[in-house]
Structure 1
Amino acid sequence: MNDDASAAPADPAGAEPRIYIHELIDVIGHNRARYVQHMTANWCPIARQERDQLCLGVWSTIGSTGAWPQVVNMWELRGWDGLAANLAHETAGGRDQDPSLAAWWSVAASLRRGGFDRIVVPTPWTRPVEQLCADGVRGAVYAHELFTVAPGASGDLLAALGERGRPAVEALGSTAVGAYEVAMADRSEAIAIWAIPDWPSWVAYERAWEPGGALEAWAAELRGVGARWRRQLMVDAPLSPLRTGRQPQESDRRPLDEL
């Protein structure tokens, strides 16, 4: 395997829409820098070659805005068939883990205590990672929002987000990384991620949610459909694709004890 394996193959016209694995990872103690390096440089090239799995992002959460120490990972696959192939590779022959994952996991286990994963389906307007990188989407900080609604209503919420919420937010200078419906559940959860260009823009975003602010109408619409939401801030890991403009490569590897 070489660095060329990090380049994605051609994507034929009519290819199945992407699907994502969204992970919340709880890191042990002061190991977050080691964990994100191990995740990006040491796992992403393997996942790309063996599983046709791309990294959308690896982010460190800002603890003052939620749980800590925590990392958010997102993986991009070629639809449900791509996800099935990924899981089949991992469990082939009745094994618990494929050898590459088992070797990587043995180190990761010393850096994290566990996590919580969701399978999420993007909205039609959500761009895949290579398009986001080509378009130069990048944030100094990111807003990670989890919405909950009545069972069956997440699709309606995401439709409203695309039609009215997204234009209102992007008018403030932020850019949608994507919006996603949580699958394998009762259609009551959705996730949105915004790339915010700088800290003053984040302040403007938060103030826009206040009464009389630019997002007051959007907040009222959310409340009108019974939505509840929580926002956490996060920043790119050093090798996260939206920071570097590319997938992590083997040449990015370095000893974890140097971090």
Structure 2
Amino acid sequence: MSGLFFHETLDPVRAPGAHTRYLSELGEIVSTIGNAEGSAGAESIAAWVPIFLNGDWPRIVTFWEMPGGWGGFADHFEKYRELFHGPLERWYGERSGGFDRILAGTSFTPGRQQLLTADRRAPVVLQQIVDLRSGGAETYLDLLSRAWEEIDATCGFSLLGGYETAFRHGTEVMLLWAFPDMRTLVRLQEQPTEFSAFHAWQRQARDQESGHRALILRPTDWSPLR
């Protein structure tokens, strides 16, 4: 595995303007100081909002890389030992809760700097959260390692990364796919056999999966990856 990432699903307060205010303040922090002090020390890769008609709402998804990998993760939480660090208080007026994941990237998953240096674009993102039998993440991601290059080369969309969710005993994987536009994603759903490399991968993947949840996301205008 390569790189350590932080994936955050946030539930804004159900009140007019709350999600907009939250994203505006978060964007200012990301654009100026990188991140709020004490909040896992991570560096922003993207901030996304699910499209309507596509799951729970309102909702915000943020994605970060943790500098220093596991060592940096441990150092951070040795330094910040308080149960609730100060900057959290500023967010409680705009969000009602959330759900966090720590993700370990594969050897073929680019880090934040690689994505930015390559000027990668992801106007539409398909997020897939996959449930597997205990210990199944390694096999699942190994299958993906043999398929992603052909998908990238032939399908008109690309893999942003494949990740194993940490502390889950190998039972959960997250995949992020970058699409140039909504029409390409809809075409994949409508006519999957036209995308032969991805279709072949899906047939293999389904044999491994015990559950699958997908979410279509679009980036904020200040998102580093957009």
Q: TM-score range by the shorter chain?
A: 0.7 to 0.9
Tell me the distance in 2 between the aligned counterparts of 1:193 and 1:233. 10
Amino acid at match of 1:156: T
Secondary structure at 1:63 match in 2: coil
Greater fraction helix: 1
Say which of 65, 73, 76 aligns to 1:76: 65
Shift of 1:212: 7.3
Choose 212-221 or 19-28, whichever is displaced more.
212-221
Tell me the distance in 2 between the aligned counterparts of 1:213 and 1:241. 29
2:75 paired with 1:85: yes
- C-alpha change, 1:226 and 1:17, in structure 2 (3 Å) is closer
Say which of 26, 44, 69 aligns to 2:11: 26
Shift of 1:167: 2.7
Choose 180-189 or 163-172, whichever is displaced more.
163-172
Other-structure match for 1:252: none
Other-structure match for 2:97: 114
Shift of 1:106: 2.4
Deviations 1:8-44, CA, capped at 9 Å, x for gaps: xxxxxxxx94201111111112422221222232367
Deviations 1:44-99, CA, capped at 9 Å, x for gaps: 725388765211211111231111111111221121011112222332xxx2344x
Choose 200-209 or 67-76, whichever is displaced more.
200-209
Say which of 22, 25, 46 aligns to 1:35: 22
Residues 149 and 228, structure 1, Cα contact 8 Å, conserved in 2: yes
CA RMSD, Structure 1 to Structure 2 (Å): 2.4
Secondary structure at 1:47 match in 2: coil
Say which of 128, 137, 142 aligns to 1:154: 137
Other-structure match for 1:193: 176
Shift of 1:126: 0.6
Amino acid at match of 2:123: A
Secondary structure at 2:225 match in 1: helix
- C-alpha change, 1:90 and 1:62, in structure 2 (3 Å) is farther
Tell me the distance in 1 between the aligned counterparts of 2:149 and 2:61. 22
Shift of 1:171: 2.2
Tell me the distance in 2 between the aligned counterparts of 1:75 and 1:28. 22
Amino acid at match of 2:4: I
- C-alpha change, 1:131 and 1:48, in structure 2 (3 Å) is farther
Residues 28 and 111, structure 1, Cα contact 8 Å, conserved in 2: yes
Other-structure match for 1:251: none
Shift of 1:168: 2.6
Amino acid at match of 2:5: Y
Alignment gaps of 5+ in structure 1: 1-15, 244-259
Tell me the distance in 1 between the aligned counterparts of 2:34 and 2:121. 25
TM-score normalized by the length of structure 2: 0.87
Choose 41-50 or 17-26, whichever is displaced more.
41-50
Tell me the distance in 1 between the aligned counterparts of 2:5 and 2:100. 10
Tell me the distance in 2 between the aligned counterparts of 1:212 and 1:59. 28
Choose 114-123 or 34-43, whichever is displaced more.
34-43
- C-alpha change, 1:110 and 1:175, in structure 2 (3 Å) is same
| % identical equivalent positions | 24
Tell me the distance in 2 between the aligned counterparts of 1:170 and 1:193. 16
Secondary structure at 2:213 match in 1: strand
Greater fraction strand: 2
